[in-house]
Structure 1
Amino acid sequence: MRRELHGLIVRRASSADLTVWAALLAKLHPGQSAAEFEAELEQLTSLPEPYVGFLAFTDDGNAAGVIDARIRNYAEGSPDLKAAYVEDLWVEPEYRRSGVAAGLLSAVEGWAREQGMRWLGSDTEADRETSHAWHKAVGFEEVERLVVFGKALA
């Protein structure tokens, strides 16, 4: 069921918001608990390189979505080495297609410009066609496809 939004409040997350932020991320990444995300967010937000989150709330106080981003030393397609990068974006199902994601993205874009960034990167999984379409609709262009490998070093 989709809800119509009459008012949307998007604001930068603070340390007091870690529980809400973590709970929303746990919905995006069900393999990790909200408690694990909360501990991770405490670490990430204390790093010297900026890591920021923005939360969207309805006018009656319901958490509608979250976006977080950081400054990376490299982002595919960036004209500079450093670039802002969207790490996570989640909108509660009942608030999708109502402007929440666009409002969250706008907040990150403003933050990135304040940081002196000229590029905003983002990624999604290869099979998430809805996410691909959204990225293109809000002005992102596909710059690269890759398969990522990793190997534990004993």
Structure 2
Amino acid sequence: MKRTGEKALSIISVVLNAISVGILILMLIGSKMIVNDPLLNTEIENSLAGSGFTEQEIVESVDFMGDFLIFISTIGWLFVVLGVISIVLAIVGAVKVNANPKVAGILFIIACVLSGIISLPGILLIIAGIMCFVRKPKIMTPIEARDENGYIIE
């Protein structure tokens, strides 16, 4: 049975996941550059100095901002790893969909959970996974020649 729909949905989700992982990597690299930029830190210190904060509060605020960006960056890299695993599972599922649709459906659903169920690639993968489980192959009955009594003619 052809499973063109499942293959198309999985390929579209792989492309969308790859785009989102690429954008996330660029954002994480940009945030690392922001944390290491001394000009930005001095600009933030200067803007906080005019607002009535003490020197200690200003230093703590700048340190907190740097620590917060590092924390967000760490979580972002976790999402990058999950996205790459999701891409690999979706590709393997797309390759296996004709040979074993049940395994491909399980791979699509796992990839959906890893990429995010509410994201567009996740929705496409869950649809492909459900289609793998629901669609049944057509039963091909051979056409047999029969005579007027119902016996098979060979």
Question: Is TM > 0.5 for Structure 1 vs Structure 2?
Answer: no
Normalising by the smaller structure, the TM-score range is: under 0.3
Which has more helix, going by share of residues? 2
Which has more strand, going by share of residues? 1
Using the size of structure 1 for normalisation, the TM-score is 0.23
Using the size of structure 2 for normalisation, the TM-score is 0.23
